Amino acid sequence: MKIPTIPPILNAVLATAHISKKKANEYISHYIRSSKTKKLPFKLPIDVQVYPIHRSPADPQHIDTIKIHQNYSPVDSAPAGEDSLFHTLNENNLVFGVCDGVGGWNDSGVDPSVFSRTLSAYTAESAQNQWLIHSSDEINPKDVMRMGYGWMRQDDLELYGSSTILVLSLSLLTGKLNAAQLGDSSFMVYDRMGKKTVFVSPEQQHRFNMPYQLTGKIPTGRIKPKKSTVPFYKPKSKYSNDLDTFNDLKSLGYDTPLDSNEYQIPIKSGNVILAATDGLFDNVHQEEIENVLGMQFSSKNTPLNVGFAAQQLCLTAVLNYLNKDTDSPFSIRAKESGYNYLGGKPDDVTVVLAYINDNIKSKL
């Protein structure tokens, strides 16, 4: 006799969007020319409808409602400037997140994007390889991060660089969202029904503008990086089930997945989950994010709503960081740390947005 499977109580509509600093500059230059003005509309009220979307470099990826055991294409990496993103399914768990390559490596001739994209690829593969005894088991994102990063170290890549990382795992069967955050890429949960933010994860910093991060090959002298012939690396060996303890890194004072902060948030139908690199949260206040989400999720919700909201969040961050006469979230934190800084922080912006709704079959 076949044992019936328990249907998940939730489905998710997922969309991603990103803008690199280079693409943002091209976009703004085009916008200035097309609007025949030398000034951007910074004094306008925050209203996403006034932001131009023609020739936008933040073309979102629309993913129809994710349903277990139906067609779905995971993403292990994305060309998002020095950022990257990933999402995948394992049984009833939707696992997704972002990585943000540390730009300081450019000074040593190292392209930070190769490390962040490699880290996201290994992390996605790790999530897919998490062994579950039962299909109802939840995935621990800290174990996903630990296994993915350990796998990179096992493959002994000739890869310098470092990156922050955020891994989220949503059980569509139970509605539990588990998260592991290392650094200043953060996530938030928005309650569409109450039209307010119910949770925002705090950034994880050693000190101002120095986030926790995972590091590639440890330099033993002056770095002589070889130009990579590939945009990133994928796992090349089978990973052993022994979890890395990272004792060698801890002895040198480096951050490891064991340092990540963990969170568990209950999720219900109507919630919106936003995961993003600091390019968003450094430049867009929580009230502005709520405004974008509120306008897109105020009535009927479709994949187009989710994709458009992800796109608009990226565009809002870009237009905000070009304004040098305002207190951005980044400038406020800078002043609190004793620095005289005004305006936004130019950066890559990467967004993964999930709108959660009921699984109709679970109610039959």
DSSP codes joined into one string, 124-137: HHHHHH---SSTTP
CB 259 within 8 A of CB 182: yes
Pairwise CA distance, residues 77 & 66, whole Å: 19
Residue 2 lies in a domain: no
Does the pLDDT at position 273 exceed 80?
yes
pLDDT for 61 equals: 47
Tally of structural domains, the chain: 1
Residue 303 lies in a domain: yes
Encoding tokens for residue 201? 């994860």
> 81-121, pLDDT tens digit by residue?
999 999 999 989 999 999 999 998 988 888 999 999 999 99
44: pLDDT strictly greater than 70: no
Give domain status of residue 242, yes or no: yes
Per-residue CA distances from 348 to 19, 25, 187, 198, 257 (Å): 6, 11, 16, 26, 23
Strand partners, 261: 181
The whole-number pLDDT of residue 48 equals 28
% pLDDT > 90, the chain: 51
- 84 lies in a domain? yes
Q: Please check whether residue 109 lies inside any domain of the structure.
A: yes
Mean pLDDT value across residues 135-139: 90
Which long-range contacts does 64-68 make (Cβ < 8 Å, 24+ apart)? 64/13, 64/303, 65/11, 65/12, 65/13, 65/303, 65/357, 66/11, 66/12, 66/13, 66/14, 66/94, 66/172, 67/11, 67/359, 68/7, 68/8, 68/92, 68/172
Q: Calculate the average pLDDT of the chain.
A: 83
Rounded-to-integer distance, Cα 345 and Cα 273, Å: 24
pLDDT at 12: 87
In a domain, 4, yes or no: no
Residue 99: the pLDDT is: 98
Residue 239 has pLDDT above 80, yes or no: no
Tell me whether residue 5 is in a domain: no
Q: Which domain holds residue 275?
A: 10-17+28-329+340-363
Q: Is residue 22 part of a domain?
A: no
The predicted pLDDT at position 69 comes to: 45
CATH number, domain containing residue 349 = 3.60.40.10
Question: What pTM value is reported for the model?
Answer: 0.89
